[in-house]
Structure 1
Amino acid sequence: MPRTRTSAIPSSPPSTKSPSPPHKSVRDLFPTPALHDEHIRMSYEIARGEQGVLTFEPYKSILLPHWRFRTVPVAEESSKTLKGAFDHYVQEGDLVGSDMARKFIQMGMTRAKRYANHAGGKKYAKSSLQLEREAAALTGDPVKNPNHSHIKRTELPKSTGHAGQEEKLAASEIFKVLWKECMKDEGYLRLKEQWQKEKKEWMKAGGKVKKEEGIWKGYEAEGGRGRNRKKAIKEEAKDKSGQEEHIKKEVVDD
């Protein structure tokens, strides 16, 4: 009986693909430092709207990389991730984390709407900080906190028909739906009430937040003199430059 010859099957070359990075859990992505550090928890301010969203650490650095609104698909993914962070923080009992996530979702809504209403995203001729600096230069007084500014800003006229307008409007609506969910979330509202009571008792017991800390970091320090003032201005400029670069990348259409 004749033998059947079998040909050797060549072995596959080793894969040159690099291994996929390990999947990070929600706990790894969104830690809860305020639960373990009273200083972080008590220096926080809920404030108005989105105030403090780009200054309060370490939550700014935790959440900012997930904030995107350039296109509708990008906004959908970003808003879903940030809402997941919000839900996680509520479940963990971290008011600071949940409120910061809420602020980022709200900023996705308002910032995208601004770029829909104004080509290039410039809503005002000058920012509150610019106006306060100009006023301080005239009077010789320290620069006031721009978040408490009483100087009226001049709003630029809205533009229509500019590139990306419809996309930014749609992106804004995506964030708006989830922002509304955050604002009426029972767990979040309960945490907010508990935190407000805790902070009130803490302040009654003599707790204080320094001017250079909390969500106003960098502004009041400008009123100082000498090395401290220069250092505060330098740090603020560096931080603001990084924030503007991040936002600039967001609004450049693919």
Structure 2
Amino acid sequence: MSDDLEYDVDFRESPEEYEIGRGEQGVFKMQPYKDELLPLWSIKSLEGAEEAAAGIYRKFEEYKRANEFPGMDLARKYLQMGWTRSLRYAKYPGGQKYEEDEDGNRVERDPQQWYDEEKFEIAQVYREYLDRVKEDETYQRRKREWQNRE
């Protein structure tokens, strides 16, 4: 799938166009799911993240009941993004994994265990819901079916 198609396709109307992709790929491009999931997503505070992760999981369940695999998978990606982003902020000041050395080269910072305890707790909230999705039998079956399409 080319990048320009990602912006022009309604994946609810044309689910066959959806490709799982790697990691969090597509979370900001796949409509209408982006508009349904992104407003729920937050890592600003623990309370907000608990509401966000629960809301995204509820959307996952809605998509599952509607047999919308693209929505199910994108809900998983938003949970994964909550986990990975909050974990990055938990380990690195300002969430900045890289800095410039004295020569202006980009170098990876040493992680601090744990720089921001609240972000670490937020990561755990998202991870709990992410694990629930990944272990969901319907999700696993639909993902295998999706990957084995011709």
What is the TM-score with the length of structure 1 in the denominator?
A: 0.49
Determine which of 14, 26, 29 is the counterpart of 1:55: 29
The residue aligned with 2:123 is: 172
One-letter amino acid of the structure 1 residue matched with residue 124 of structure 2? E
- 1:158 lines up with 2:132 in the alignment: no
Moved more, 52-61 or 66-75: 52-61
Over the residues paired in the alignment, what is the CA RMSD in angstroms? 2.0
Secondary structure of the corresponding residue to residue 85 of structure 2: helix
Unaligned runs of 5+ in 1: 1-32, 127-152, 201-254
- Kindly tell me the number of residue pairs found equivalent between the two proteins: 136
Shift of 1:65: 0.4
The residue aligned with 2:147 is: 196
The residue aligned with 2:19 is: 45
The residue aligned with 1:145 is: none
Q: Is the 8 A contact 1:90 1:191 kept in 2?
A: no
Secondary structure of the corresponding residue to residue 76 of structure 1: helix
Larger Rg, first or second structure (1 or 2): 1
Q: Is the 8 A contact 1:34 1:94 kept in 2?
A: no
Q: Is the 8 A contact 2:90 2:119 kept in 1?
A: yes
Q: Is the 8 A contact 1:86 1:97 kept in 2?
A: yes
Q: Is the 8 A contact 1:34 1:96 kept in 2?
A: yes
The residue aligned with 2:91 is: 117
Mapped partners of 2:110, 2:143: distance in 1: 37
1:11-160 matches, within 5 Å, as 34-35=11-12, 37-38=13-14, 41-125=15-99, 154-159=107-112
Secondary structure of the corresponding residue to residue 69 of structure 1: coil
Secondary structure of the corresponding residue to residue 42 of structure 2: coil
Mapped partners of 1:184, 1:161: distance in 2: 28
Mapped partners of 1:45, 1:125: distance in 2: 34
